[in-house]
């Protein structure tokens, strides 16, 4: 996916995976219609067969008639026109009707994706997933990495760009690191654990980030921190990288902000303690939800259990935000939950400072925020926290959003125009 050319690929269909798998996330970043988890599709198709890929509805139609093709093209054009109309609001601030400002940032996979983020009105980069630089056969040079990071920082300056150190492992395997076959890769040698094991590679990335920091406002993010020891070791590596640059007389910014991902339940429980040691939090709901609910987000057979509106998820998010704010640091959410317009009232109610998402979602979220009374969103969120049944919570949220934004939501969930987000 990282090497696909968006100029030569019209759509992506995958037999395995779920909406939150990184294949699907990258397809959306490339602005490609994508449907995942279509079991045994390849048994029905051959080279040259015509199919319709409906990324809005999550449907694949094989061997369509000419009339169905015409209908699909007309529907696609209508949905695109509505999306373009919303994109005209991209320069307007995301401020609620009662004056609450929410920063809307973009998640990007590759340095050139910063152009897409700006096109859709991103106020910053909330997550640059640098692991895709490490998907080749060789470790990218420090100079090459620095240029990639500079590209993003310069394009966004003076707005901040949050750049995450490599988050490899689990469903993002790299040929560079011999991980072998792990019985449970989602909980194995991955992310910050991998970086600390291959410390020289990690130091090279940190040096590249530091050298690039003179080009903009760098927010450095460590992923999958689960205990104080990991954070201390990551911060020690950062200090070592700084010393190495000082020894060579190479400049770096003194204004770098350092934060951690909250995506492991232990980090969420210890949020207050971690908040005293870093400058900001970024909540990674994709992993946090799967670990909290013991539901593998790559496994379509248990996808029904993966529920951002599970009351345990909502209460844990509330605890994280409250702990961070009590200690005086801001909280961003960069997981897929942040880019789902259906949940934005809950995130406003929780008091998040920033939400970061696929750039395609920015116009929809901005429109909803600008037409929302935050006091009412807080009332909704507080009411949900008192409920214990996740199905009832989902019904309450759908009813609420359908009443306020009937063009975007129905009682059954998001309308077609939101289906591809």
Catalytic residues: 22, 334
Stated as kind and residue range, the H or E segment containing 193 is: helix 191-197
Stated as kind and residue range, the H or E segment containing 107 is: strand 103-108
Beta carbons of 297 and 21 less than 8 angstroms apart: yes
DSSP string across 262-321: E-SHHHHHTHHHHHTTSSEEEE-HHHHHHHHHT--TT-GGGGGG--TT-HHHHHHHHHHH
Contacts 24+ apart (CB under 8 A), 137-146: 137/175, 137/176, 138/176, 139/176, 139/201, 139/204, 142/204, 142/207, 142/208, 142/211, 143/208, 145/204, 145/205, 145/208, 145/209, 145/212, 146/208, 146/209, 146/211, 146/212
**Helix (H, G, I), strand (E, B), or coil: what is residue 254?**
coil
Sign of CA dihedral 78, 84, 88, 90: positive
Beta carbons of 279 and 260 less than 8 angstroms apart: no
Beta carbons of 205 and 165 less than 8 angstroms apart: yes
Treating both helix axes as pointing N-terminal to C-terminal, what angle do 390-404 and 374-385 enclose, rounded to 10 degrees?
Answer: 160
Residue 62, number of CB atoms within 10 A of its CB: 11
Residue 211, number of CB atoms within 10 A of its CB: 23
């Amino acid at each position: 996916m990282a090497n696909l050319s968006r100029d030569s690929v019209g759509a992506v269909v995958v037999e395995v995976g779920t909406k939150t798998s990184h294949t699907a996330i990258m397809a959306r970043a490339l602005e490609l219609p994508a449907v995942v988890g279509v079991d045994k599709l390849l048994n029905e198709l051959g080279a040259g067969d015509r199919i319709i890929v409906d990324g809005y509805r999550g449907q694949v139609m094989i061997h369509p008639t000419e009339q169905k093709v015409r209908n699909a093209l007309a529907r696609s054009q209508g949905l695109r026109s509505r999306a373009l109309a919303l994109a005209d609001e991209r320069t307007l601030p995301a401020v609620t009707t009662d004056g609450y400002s929410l920063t809307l940032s973009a998640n990007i996979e590759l340095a050139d994706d910063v152009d897409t983020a700006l096109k859709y009105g991103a106020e910053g980069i909330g997550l640059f997933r640098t692991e895709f630089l490490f998907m080749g056969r060789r470790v990218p040079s420090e100079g090459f990495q620095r240029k990639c990071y500079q590209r993003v920082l310069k394009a966004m300056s003076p707005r901040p760009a949050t750049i995450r150190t490599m988050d490899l492992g689990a469903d993002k395997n790299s040929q560079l690191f011999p991980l072998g076959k792990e019985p449970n890769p989602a909980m194995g040698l991955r992310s910050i654990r991998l970086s600390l094991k291959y410390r020289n590679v990690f130091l090279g990335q940190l040096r590249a980030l530091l050298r690039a920091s003179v080009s903009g406002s760098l927010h450095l993010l460590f992923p999958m921190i689960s205990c104080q020891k990991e954070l201390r070791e990551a911060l020690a590596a950062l200090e070592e990288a700084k010393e190495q640059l000082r020894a060579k007389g190479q400049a770096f910014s003194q204004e770098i902000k350092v934060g951690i991902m909250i995506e492991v339940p232990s980090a969420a429980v210890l949020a207050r303690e971690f908040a005293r040691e870093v400058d900001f939090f970024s909540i990674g709901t994709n992993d946090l939800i799967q670990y909290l609910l013991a539901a593998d987000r790559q496994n379509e057979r248990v996808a029904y259990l993966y529920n951002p509106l599970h009351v345990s998820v909502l209460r844990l998010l509330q605890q994280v935000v409250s702990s961070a704010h009590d200690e005086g640091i801001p909280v961003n959410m960069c997981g897929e939950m942040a880019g789902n317009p259906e949940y934005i009232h809950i995130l406003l109610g929780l008091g998040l400072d920033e939400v970061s998402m696929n750039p395609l979602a920015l116009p929809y979220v901005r429109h909803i925020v600008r037409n929302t009374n935050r006091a009412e969103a807080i009332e909704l969120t507080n009411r949900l926290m008192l409920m214990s049944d996740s199905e009832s919570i989902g019904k309450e949220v759908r009813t609420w959003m359908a009443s306020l934004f009937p063009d975007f939501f129905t009682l059954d969930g998001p309308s077609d125009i939101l289906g591809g987000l």
